[in-house]
């Protein structure tokens, strides 16, 4: 029996994870749930899965939650409550799915407590990847990626000698604006940019997919997850989203992981590792698809992903500053306070303005991200 804490349980990944968990009551026990402000959904989950602890990041939300959960369920609030869920002594596996920099503290707490972590919060490694991975190794916990691309790489590395890896190849769908001409991009509306052709995701990650910033952040994640230099991590656009990523070896062989576009696949892989869980997802029908296509990303139209390589080159707190700037720029675009093409431009300006420091702590990473966010907001206001 694997005992779980699910952080971000009311979001897309958390809901799908609980869907997987519900199918295997003999394999999993939900010990703790944590979410933000969606009290009704969190309470419904608590009534169904009967965790010992629930935590609402918003203290005001937690006040109303106490009357809605089953008797005997402990209710906590704020960052401390989410951290307590992550480090609960009865938990052995933490699914970290709180989006944005807000998820870093709880991820770090789970790592510090020696838990195995299914990582769906990319900012934990973007902001502080070197620290998180080093501490996980020291504390004895495993980090299992939940992003479909990194899960694919993890699966493609199994059974192979890591010293024989030539490069990692991250696939990108190209997002909802892949075929849009450069001259049209400044006029793209949030509504148009949110129409992803293959995946159903939150607003922030969907806009990041549209700019290709999401793929750049995944390069930073992959650098730390798999201990591979940035120069050996490539991106290829694959519109069908069937090949989720690939590993090329020194003899020229490429190992890829394929599957339908359903996040329950990588979620179940992380939950069940080192085994696999039998899911009743639709089979992949390659004959019906007929073809799989690939193309190089276009940095002229979508320059955002290249900023991630620049941040890794600068090192230290630079990736954290870039992440914070991106959060603010995307928020401004969604509020129609800046153009689509301003997102990458703002992030580039903030990154080059950042005074890079050697990264020594989670709090320093969060401070750098906060600085990037504030600096981007200031530049939006002054435009």
Angle (CA) 158-162-168 rounded to 5° is 85
What CATH superfamily is the domain 2-145?
A: NAD(P)-binding Rossmann-like Domain (3.40.50.720)
**pLDDT of the residue at 199:** 63
Alpha-carbon span 194 to 40, nearest angstrom: 26
Strands 116-119 and 233-237: unpaired
The reply to whether 150-259+282-382 shares the fold of 2-145 is: no
Fold topology of 150-259+282-382: Rna Polymerase Sigma Factor; Chain: A (1.10.1740)
Alpha-carbon span 103 to 97, nearest angstrom: 7
List of residues 6+ apart from 106 with CB closer than 8 A = 7, 34, 79, 82, 83, 85, 86, 94, 96, 98
Strands 53-56 and 233-237: unpaired
Domain positions in the chain are 2-145, 150-259+282-382
**pLDDT of the residue at 92:** 96
309 to 97, 163, 217: CA distances (angstroms): 24, 22, 9
**pLDDT of the residue at 175:** 87
**pLDDT of the residue at 198:** 67
Kindly report, residue by residue over 293-350, the tens digit of the pLDDT.
999 999 999 999 999 999 999 999 999 999 999 999 999 999 999 999 999 999 999 9
Alpha-carbon span 274 to 328, nearest angstrom: 38
For residue 282 the two structure tokens come to 């639709």
Residues of the chain with pLDDT under 50: none
**pLDDT of the residue at 187:** 95
Kindly report, residue by residue over 208-236, the tens digit of the pLDDT.
999 999 999 999 999 999 999 999 999 99
Sign of the C-alpha dihedral computed for residues 14, 202, 85 and 129 taken in this order: positive
pTM of this prediction?
Answer: 0.93
């Amino acid at each position: 029996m694997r005992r779980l804490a699910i952080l971000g349980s009311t979001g897309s990944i958390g809901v799908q994870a609980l869907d997987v968990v519900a199918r295997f009551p003999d394999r999993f026990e939900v010990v703790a749930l944590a979410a933000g402000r969606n009290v009704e959904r969190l309470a419904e989950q608590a009534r169904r899965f009967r965790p010992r602890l629930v935590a609402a990041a918003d203290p005001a939300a937690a006040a109303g939650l106490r009357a809605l959960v089953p008797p005997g369920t402990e209710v906590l609030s704020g960052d401390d409550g989410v951290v307590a869920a992550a480090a609960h002594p009865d938990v052995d596996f933490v699914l970290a799915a709180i989006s944005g920099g807000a998820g870093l503290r709880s991820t770090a707490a789970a790592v510090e407590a020696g838990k195995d972590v299914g990582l769906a919060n990319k900012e934990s490694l973007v902001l502080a990847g070197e620290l998180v991975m080093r501490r996980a190794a020291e504390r004895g916990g495993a980090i299992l990626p939940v992003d479909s691309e990194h899960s694919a790489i993890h699966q493609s590395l199994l059974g192979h000698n890591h010293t024989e890896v030539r490069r990692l190849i991250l696939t990108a769908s190209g997002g909802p604006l892949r075929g849009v001409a450069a001259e049209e991009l400044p006029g793209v509306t949030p509504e148009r940019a949110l129409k992803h052709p293959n995946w159903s995701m939150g607003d922030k990650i969907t806009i990041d997919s549209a700019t290709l910033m999401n793929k750049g952040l995944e390069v930073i994640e992959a650098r730390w997850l798999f201990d591979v230099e940035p120069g050996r991590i490539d991106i290829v656009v694959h519109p069908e989203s069937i090949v989720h990523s690939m590993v090329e070896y020194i003899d020229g062989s490429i190992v890829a992981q394929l599957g339908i576009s359903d996040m329950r696949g990588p979620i179940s892989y992380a939950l069940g590792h080192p085994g696999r869980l039998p899911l009743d997802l639709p089979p992949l029908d390659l004959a019906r698809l007929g073809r799989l296509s690939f193309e190089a990303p276009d940095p002229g139209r979508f320059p955002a992903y290249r900023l991630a390589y620049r941040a890794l080159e600068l090192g230290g707190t630079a990736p954290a500053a870039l992440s914070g700037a991106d959060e603010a720029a995307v928020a401004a675009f969604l509020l129609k306070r800046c153009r689509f093409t301003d997102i990458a431009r703002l992030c580039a300006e903030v990154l080059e303005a950042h005074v890079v420091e050697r990264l020594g702590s989670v709090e320093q990473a969060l401070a750098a991200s906060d600085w990037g966010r504030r600096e981007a907001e200031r530049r939006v206001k002054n435009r």
